[in-house]
Amino acid sequence: MMNTLAKQDRWLLFGFALAVLAGPVLLKPFGAGYPDLLQKFCIFGIFAIGYNILFGLTGYLSFGHAAFLGIGSYTAVWSFKLLTMNVLPAILLSVLLTSVFALLIGYICLRRSGIYFSILTLAFAQMAYNMAYSVLTPITNGETGLQLAKDDLRAVDKFFGVAIQDGIPSTNFFGMSLVGYSGFYFCAVLLILSFYVSMRITRSPFGLMLKAVKSNQNRLKYTGINTRSYALMAFVISGCFAGLAGAMLAVTDPLAGADRMHWSASGEVVLMTILGGVGTLLGPVIGAGVIKYLENIFSSFNEQILNGVFGFLPDALQHPVVKFVGLFVGEGWELTLGVLFLVLIIFVPGGLMQGLQSLQRRLFPSQPTPAADAARGAH
Amino acid sequence: MDAIFLQLLNGLDKGSAYALIALGLTLIFGTLGVVNFAHGALFMLGGFCAVGVQMLLKLSTQVKDESIPDLEMMVDVPYLQVWFGDTGAQLISYAVPISVILAIPLMLLVGVLMERGLIRHFYHRTHADQILVTFGLAIVLQELIKSFFGATPIPVPAPEMFTGSANIGEWLGMGAGVSYPWWRLVYFCFSTAVIAMVFAFLQFTTFGMVVRAGMRDRETVGLLGIHIERRFTIVFGIAVVVAGIAGAMYTPIVSPNYRVGMDFLVLSFVVVVVGGMGSLPGAVASGFLLGILQSFASMNEVKHLIPGIDQVIVYLVAVVILLTRPRGLLGRKGVMED
């Protein structure tokens, strides 16, 4: 399979895999080298990669992808409860069920385009969110969220006579416990696989069709092609990715809450994709990483740390500086996100990837790297 | 019958808020062609105008407590009460109406600054870019408010005169059980008046005529030698003012916190799209329609019949309308079709 990829793509995939697997070492200096956060990078990277297949390639701006994330999580937790603590069935079932939902919702929503499509997807996601809190409480366990319990059924585990230890069992991959770094590497492998799939899709004739849907849908229709079925395929594929990400969230932390389906979660994945660079291969992963990094690291800063950082300033200056910077960290990390976002949209509409590219072109005018080529090719 | 009438009334105040926000959104979209995701944040900003005014009026000083003669007890008494006695105390309870008057110039300024400083550069960008930049602005506004006022909702009471409930049932010869909070009635009348004013402004003034012409065909109006951009800036300001005063007046009904805007915005977008992008009467009509439907769906009888309907009714209606009437209820042809 690999030899059908262009040479530069092979290098890009190789470099990406290396960077992801070396994540714990590379991100250590930034204070992000612990498995919990690295897992989040990977999971939301998968989510954003999938979202990019819909939004980046076909241009359909969905505001309801968090619903698939939530459905994936709930399915995975139910699989843990009813079948087995092995993650493989959980992941497969989640992806299967989300693809069914994506097919249904996508079929209805894709009858319209533009902002109407956005509002339709938003409407479905909000219905899912509201119902998870009210009518579907037997399935979703309402506000408490769906959790594992000691006396769950776990039929398959019982059938194979897997010993149940004291307390609530943890998730495993054929006996390999997925806690700490093994959990991260599990996510990392899936992220690399997702990246590979998305690369294949982008480079395939099918991906070209999706880009054609984005650039001029009418012209494509006049040539006798049913554009809706292509868009629907993209919608289902990106829904599957979201389901996978939702399942992974449940794998690393086996509980599922309805807040995962809130529209702000859908907004977040849009932000990640845009921040990194819409339509690029690497962009969404980088965007997801940056946002999750800001969320986790910036929000953990407090006044004490800031005083330490700015300790070198004279006292008269230190206090106002700490006060000012304090606005942007801790509770106010979202302010940083908002400002970063405004600056990016205003000055670099193509996201971080475009920013990096223009920076690179300025610094090394004649040395294109695989990453830049891939990004350029994806436009 | 009484119950149905009561639900109708209950739907009106929420419907008025939706209608006001949707009206502003549609004004901006119809004139500038910009999808403004910061509109909810502007609604919230209006709410915090009221909070700010209340805090200003309540600025207090320490005064010896006269009711306990023997002890040197100090109590906080607002300056207004110290200076003007009971009139001052009365004045404090009028924080909301005062804030509405203050909010008008303030929000107009915010709107003009926002349009000239930011939105102007986004006329020729894609709708996705417009959505994102206004969304970013909304986050910034929200977080600034959060850092100044905190994250907990701040109650702002209605003026004393309007607390309690109006006995509408007795006026209309229905059961005495039909009563309705005064302030909600005021809010409904207020929003009707604002909507009427906006429509009258567009319909009966020369300025409005030019704006309407510009909404139809911006280029031709420009060719006639009219500086249409400047007019549109003012329209943007008006839309922001409408959102702001809607927010300020809404504070006694729901205590504002920094998130209130976003909650309203999502629903308001549904309202705008259901009404038809670019149609002002459509926005107002669907605002009231969805507000009332929402309140009917929360009746126990209906909930018993179809469980959970109260949670999804608005979105369900939106889906059905968008699929059966592609341009919304009163939408024009060719708006946001691509």
User: How would you classify the pairing of strands B180-181 and A176-177?
Assistant: unpaired
Q: Name every residue in A having a CB less than 8 A away from some CB of B.
A: 61, 108, 111-116, 119-120, 122-124, 126-127, 130-131, 133-136, 263-264, 267, 270-271, 274, 327, 331-332, 334-335, 337-339, 341-342, 345-346, 349
The CA distance from B228 to B213, in Å, is 10
Chain A residues lying within 8 Å of B305, measured CB to CB: none
CB-based burial of residue A323 (10 Å sphere; 0-12 exposed, 13-18 middle, 19+ buried)?
A: exposed
Given a cut of 90, whether residue B298 has pLDDT beyond it is: no
In chain A, how many domains are there? 1
- Percentage of chain A exceeding pLDDT 70: 94
Q: Do B326 and A349 touch (CB under 8 A)?
A: no
pLDDT value for A163? 66
Flag whether pLDDT at B338 surpasses 70. Answer: no
Nearest to residue B177, comparing CAs of B189, B165, B164? Answer: B165
- Alpha-carbon distance of A167 to A155, in angstroms, equals 17
Instruction: Return the pLDDT at A362.
Output: 85
Structure tokens at B209: 């005529």
Name the residue among A112, A135, A345 with its Cβ closest to that of B307: A135
Of B143, B146, B319, the CB nearest to A120: B319
Distance from CA of B278 to the nearest CA of A (A): 12
- Please give, rounded to a whole number of angstroms, the shortest distance from the CA of A68 to a CA of chain B: 17
Query: What are the structure tokens assigned to A227, written together?
Result: 């554009």
Range of the domain at A129: 2-261
Distance CA A291, CA A276 (A): 10
Domain-located, residue A325: no
**Confidence (pLDDT) at A2:** 46
- Radius of gyration for chain A, computed over Cα atoms and rounded to the nearest angstrom: 22
Arithmetic mean of pLDDT, B237-258: 91
Contact B1, B98 (CB under 8 A): no
User: Is A131's CB within 8 Å of B262's CB?
Assistant: no
Is residue A96 situated within a structural domain?
Answer: yes
Of B52, B23, B311, the C-alpha closest to A133 is: B311
For residue B336, name the pLDDT band (cuts at 50, 70, 90). Answer: low
Pick B139's closest partner by Cβ from A112, A331, A337.
A337
Which among B137, B270, B308 has the least Cβ separation from residue A123? B270
Tokens of B12: 């009106």
Could you state, in order of their start, the residue ranges of all structural domains in chain B?
2-55+90-159+181-324
**Residue B135 buriedness (CB in 10 A; 0-12 / 13-18 / 19+):** buried
Q: Is residue A33 part of a domain?
A: yes
Residues of chain A positioned with their CB less than 8 A from the CB of B118 = 346
Cβ–Cβ gap A338/B136 under 8 Å:
yes
pLDDT in tens, B179-212: 788 888 899 999 999 999 999 999 999 999 999 8
Element (H, E) at A85: none
Chain-centroid distance, C-alpha B308: 27
Instruction: Label residue B337 by pLDDT band (50, 70, 90).
Output: low
Position B335 pLDDT exceeds 70: no
**Is A377 among the domain residues?**
no
Cβ–Cβ gap A123/B326 under 8 Å: no
Nearest-CB residue to A327 (from B138, B147, B273): B147
Alpha carbon of B286: minimum distance to chain A alpha carbons (Å):
15
Sequence-distant (6+) residues with CB within 8 A of A234 are A53, A54, A57, A58, A60, A210, A213
Task: Return d(Cα A370, Cα A19) in angstroms, integer.
Answer: 14
Say yes or no for a CB contact (<8 Å) between A123 and B311. no
The domain defined by B2-55+90-159+181-324 folds into ABC transporter involved in vitamin B12 uptake, BtuC (1.10.3470)
pLDDT per residue, tens digit, chain A (379 aa), is 445 678 888 899 999 999 988 888 888 888 777 888 899 999 999 999 999 999 999 989 898 899 999 999 999 999 988 888 889 999 999 999 999 999 999 999 998 887 788 888 988 998 899 888 888 888 888 888 888 887 777 878 778 877 666 677 788 888 788 888 888 999 999 999 999 999 999 999 999 999 999 888 889 999 999 999 999 999 999 999 999 999 999 988 888 888 888 888 888 898 899 888 888 899 999 999 988 988 888 777 777 777 777 777 777 777 788 777 777 777 778 888 888 888 888 888 778 888 888 888 888 876 555 554 444 444 4
Instruction: Say how far apart CA A172 and CA A162 lie, in whole Å.
Output: 12
Question: What are residue B78's DSSP bridge partners?
Answer: B60
pLDDT, position A284: 93
Q: Region B236-259: what's the mean pLDDT?
A: 91
Identify whether A129 is part of a domain.
Answer: yes
Q: State how far the Cα of A343 lies from the Cα of B74, in Å rounded to an integer.
A: 50
Confidence at residue A378, expressed as pLDDT on a 0 to 100 scale: 44
pLDDT value, residue A370: 52
Nearest to B308 among A108, A131, A267 (CB): A131
pLDDT digits (tens, 9 = 90+) for B90-124: 788 888 889 999 999 999 999 999 999 888 888 88
Rounded CA separation A210/A215 (Å): 9
Contacts of B326 in chain A (CB under 8 A): 112, 116
Q: Looking at CA atoms only, how far is residue A138 from chain B in angstroms? A: 13
Closest B-chain CA to A218: B338
Q: What number is the average pLDDT over the span B60-71?
A: 72
Nearest to A119 among B121, B128, B318 (CB): B318
Mutation target for A interface from B124, B127, B132: give the one with most A CBs within 10 A: B132
Per CB-CB distance under 8 Å, the chain B contacts of A337 are 139
Q: For tokens 């959990």, what's the residue? A: A183
Contacts of B316 in chain A (CB under 8 A): 123, 127
| ipTM, two decimals | 0.79
Mutate to test the interface with A, among B266, B269, B286 (most CBs of A within 10 A): B266
Nearest alpha-carbon partner for A179 in A289, A46, A35, A38? A35
Confidence at residue A260, expressed as pLDDT on a 0 to 100 scale: 87
3-state class (DSSP) for residue B69: coil
How far is residue B231's CA from residue B329's CA, in Å, rounded to a whole number? 28
Q: pTM of the entire structure?
A: 0.84
* Residue A309 is assigned to a structural domain of this protein: no
Residue A105: what pLDDT? Answer: 94
Kindly report the nearest CA distance between residue A86 and chain B, in angstroms: 34
CATH number at residue A14: 1.10.3470
- Which residues, other chains included, contact A129 with Cβ-Cβ below 8 Å and sequence gap of 6+? A66, A67, A70, A258, A261, A262, A263
Contact B338, A216 (CB under 8 A): no
Q: Which residues lie closer than 8 Å to B324 by C-beta, 6 or more apart? A: none
Residue A245 identity (one-letter amino acid): A
The residue written with tokens 């493989």 in the block is A88
Helix, strand, coil percentages, rounded to 5, for chain A: 75, 0, 25
Backbone dihedral angles phi then psi of residue B333, each to the nearest 5 degrees: -75, 140
Token couple for B311: 């949670």
pLDDT given at position A222: 92
Residue identified by tokens 């959970």 is B308
Q: What is the pLDDT of residues A36-54, one digit of tens each?
A: 889 999 999 999 999 999 9
Contacts of residue A264, Cβ cutoff 8 Å, sequence gap at least 6: B262
Rounded to an integer, the average pLDDT of B54-61 is: 84
The single-letter code of the amino acid at B338 is: D
Residue of chain A minimizing CA distance to B337: A114
Helix, strand, coil share (%) of chain B residues, nearest 5: 70, 5, 25
pLDDT at A188: 93
A332 DSSP 8-state letter: G
Q: Is A134 in contact with B308 (Cβ distance < 8 A)?
A: yes
CB within 8 Å: B319 and A113:
no
**Averaged pLDDT, B206-231:** 88
- Strands (DSSP E) found in B154-305: 165-166, 180-181
What's chain B's average pLDDT?
85
pLDDT attached to residue A379: 44
Instruction: Please answer yes or no on whether A135 and B326 come within 8 Å at the CB atom.
Output: no
Q: Is residue A256 part of a domain?
A: yes
User: For the segment A258-305, what is each residue's pLDDT rounded down to a tens digit?
Assistant: 888 888 888 889 889 988 888 889 999 999 998 898 888 877 777 777
Residue A170 pLDDT? 80
Helix (H, G, I), strand (E, B) or coil at A282: coil
Q: DSSP string of B278-290?
A: T-HHHHHHHHHHH
| Residues of chain A neighbouring B35 (CB-CB closer than 8 A) | 115
